[in-house]
Amino acid sequence: MARGDLVVFEEAMAKMLDGDWAASDHFYCAICDNTATPTAGFATPTLGDFTEVGTSGTYVTGGIDLGTLADLVTEAAGVVTIDSATNPTWAQDASNDNDAYWAIVYNYTDAGKDALCYVDLGGPVDMTAGDLTITWNGSGLMTITKAA
């Protein structure tokens, strides 16, 4: 896996397809350290499986709201796109953490905080030395294409 790659948790794909998440559920992006390394096959991934960076400076527990599932999902010509207009940014602050490794996108509304995907930040990223911004790919976080 390379820095900047977005990987969808296998379990999250099942949750999307079986209707486990509601259109009104909010998805957030949280920043985590390297206590636990995420993998696509992580069994029943939740935000609680990972350790968020310290809550201080510009980082708030839980991360940044990316929008509701209804906001994130669009469909056109047999292609479902999951995307967010919000590129999460945490401004540099002397009180921020200095060991950011992973961005975890998860269902904030869900009681278990089920995780959708993660991004390798190429850590450790020192949030005291500069802003941390995650810029989503212009094609979206992910797409699902109907087979011909």
DSSP secondary structure, 2-36, as one string: -TT-EEE-HHHHHHHHTT-S-TT-EEEEEEE-SSS
pTM over 0.85, yes/no: yes
Name the helix (H) or strand (E) containing 107: strand 100-107
Entry field: residues in the chain: 148
Query: Using 50, 70 and 90 to split pLDDT, how confident is the model at 15?
Result: confident
Q: How is the chain split into domains, by residue range?
A: 6-145
> What is the mean pLDDT of the segment spanning 70-82?
92
Whole-number pLDDT of residue 82? 93
Q: How does the average pLDDT of the chain come out, rounded?
A: 92
> What is the mean pLDDT of the segment spanning 62-67?
97
DSSP-derived secondary structure letter, 46: B
Res 1 pLDDT > 70? no
Query: Which parts of the chain fold into alpha helices (H)?
Result: 10-17, 69-72
Q: What percent of the chain has pLDDT over 70?
A: 99
Query: Using 50, 70 and 90 to split pLDDT, how confident is the model at 49?
Result: very high
Name the helix (H) or strand (E) containing 106: strand 100-107
Whole-number pLDDT of residue 13? 84
